Amino acid sequence: MSWTDVIAVDRLTVDRGVAALVDGDAVAVFRLGNDDIVAIDHVDPFTGVGVLARGLVGSVGDRDVVVSPLHKQRFDLRTGECLDDPTRSVRTWSVSVADGTVRVAPPTPQRESAA
């Protein structure tokens, strides 16, 4: 697995996202209220626009989600699943922290999103 440094942990605000470009892919990195750090694709699969790092972070039941700022679809931050349309999803990225720096690795394989 190939890791890429993205941002210092102490620069991440709780329940906010930051976007980064990693090997040509836009990734959204979030620090959750329990200090877990998660990463998903930054591009909204409904619009093709890189906006998910700007979305509102919250929860639906026990699921951590981000709400797209454009059309308000909710994406599970751990699985990438769209709670509002099961035919769409975003990829999740592996995350680690080393020496105070958040690192991400290429997305885990997932089913193709419907177009």
Task: State the pLDDT at residue 30.
Answer: 99
**pTM for the full predicted model:** 0.91
Domains and CATH numbers, the chain: 4-107 (2.102.10.10)
> In angstroms, rounded to a whole number, what is the distance separating the alpha carbons of residues 80 and 94?
12
pLDDT of residue 41: 98
Return the exposure string of 27-51: e unless at least 16 CB atoms fall within 10 Å of the residue's CB, then b: bbbbbbeeeebbbbbbbbbbeeebb
The helix, strand and coil proportions of the chain, stated in percent and rounded to the nearest 5, come to 5, 50, 45
- Provide the pLDDT for residue 112: 47
pLDDT in the model for residue 113: 46
Low-confidence ranges of the chain (pLDDT < 70): 108-115
* Whole-angstrom distance, CA of residue 85 vs CA of residue 87: 5
Question: Residue 81's Cα: distance from chain center in Å?
Answer: 11
> According to the model, what pLDDT value does residue 108 have?
58
Look at residue 40 in the predicted model and tell me its pLDDT.
98
Instruction: Give me the pLDDT at residue 64, please.
Output: 99
Whole-angstrom distance, CA of residue 80 vs CA of residue 82? 7
